[in-house]
Amino acid sequence: MKSITRQKSLEQIERGLSDWARVFIVGCGTCTTATMTGGLEQVLEMKEQLEKMDKWVSGWTVIPVACDEMTAVSIEEHGRAIADAGCVLAMTCALGVHRLNQYLERPVVPALDTLFIGVEETPGCFREVCGQCGECVLGETAGICPVVTCHKGLVNGPCGGTNRGKCEVDKERDCAWSLIYARLKAQGRLQAMRNYQPPRNHHRMPRPRVTRLV
C-alpha cells in the first residue's frame, strides 16, 4: 500500500512559498521515495529549484516514514536548521504534512498533491483499489471495487457508456463493470450482479472519521 502523490508545478510551489525567503525541505523514505516524488534525489533537485527562485535552503532531510511518530525525532535532530527557516516544504504525502504540523510550529507547505491510496500492480504502476468508503461491497463484486474503479461509482451494474470493455471517459481504461461481470461469470456467480444494491450510506461513519481501539 502506498500513498500516491504528484509534485505540484514549480509556479504553485513558488506561490506557496512566497511569504518566506528561507526554507527547510523534508522528504520521505517510504511512499514518496517509491513514487519518486519526495525521495533523496527529488529533494536535492528541489533544493536547486528553490535556489533558482532566490530562496535560501537552510537544510533538508529525508525522514524514513514521515507519517509515523518517529518524525518527532528527525525534527529534533534538525531543530537548528529548521529554526533558521521561515517554513518547511514537505515532499511527503498529506499524511506526512499532517504529522509535521503536529510537531512543528513553523508553517508546513506541501510540495506534492496527494492523489490516492494505491497498490503497486506492476513495478511503477499504482492503482487505487479502495476509497475507504465505510460500506464494503467487494463480496458481491468479485473483489473489484465499483466505488473507485467505476468512474461514476455505480453499484448496480454498468452505465450505457461502457464500450467493448472500456470506460466512456477513456478508451484506454477498463470499465469496472466489464471486469466485475467477467470475474463473476468465471466464478459462476452472476447472480450477485442481479442483486439490487440500495443507495449507499455516505455517513456510515460521518466525517470527521475517528476510531479508538477499546
Contact residues toward ligand SF4 (CB under 6 A) are 130-133, 136-138, 145, 147-148, 150-152, 154, 158-159, 161-162, 167-168, 175-177
Which does residue 196 bind out of ligand SF4, another protein, none, counting CB within 5 to 8 angstroms by kind? another protein
For the chain, report the end-to-end CA distance as a whole number of angstroms. 26
The smaller minimum CB distance to another protein, of residues 108 and 150, is found at 150
Binding positions for another protein, rule: CB under 8 A: 151-165, 168-169, 177-178, 181, 185, 190, 193-194, 196-200, 202
Distance, in Å, from the CA atom of 118 to the CA atom of 131, rounded to the nearest integer, reads 9
For residue 67, the minimal CB distance to ligand SF4 (Å) is: 20
Q: Which three cell numbers stand for residue 34?
A: 517509491
The smaller minimum CB distance to another protein, of residues 8 and 98, is found at 8
Distance, in Å, from the CA atom of 56 to the CA atom of 72, rounded to the nearest integer, reads 24
Do 114 and 6 touch, CB atoms closer than 8 A?
no
For residue 163, the minimal CB distance to another protein (Å) is: 4
**Is 59 strand, coil or helix?**
strand
At residue 122, φ and ψ (nearest 5 deg) are -130, 160
Which does residue 183 bind out of another protein, ligand SF4, none, counting CB within 5 to 8 angstroms by kind? none
Which does residue 164 bind out of ligand SF4, another protein, none, counting CB within 5 to 8 angstroms by kind? another protein
The smaller minimum CB distance to ligand SF4, of residues 58 and 162, is found at 162
The smaller minimum CB distance to another protein, of residues 18 and 187, is found at 187
What type of residue sits at position 203? H
Give the angle 197-203-206 at the CA atoms, nearest 5°: 160
Cis before 208 (ω within 30): yes
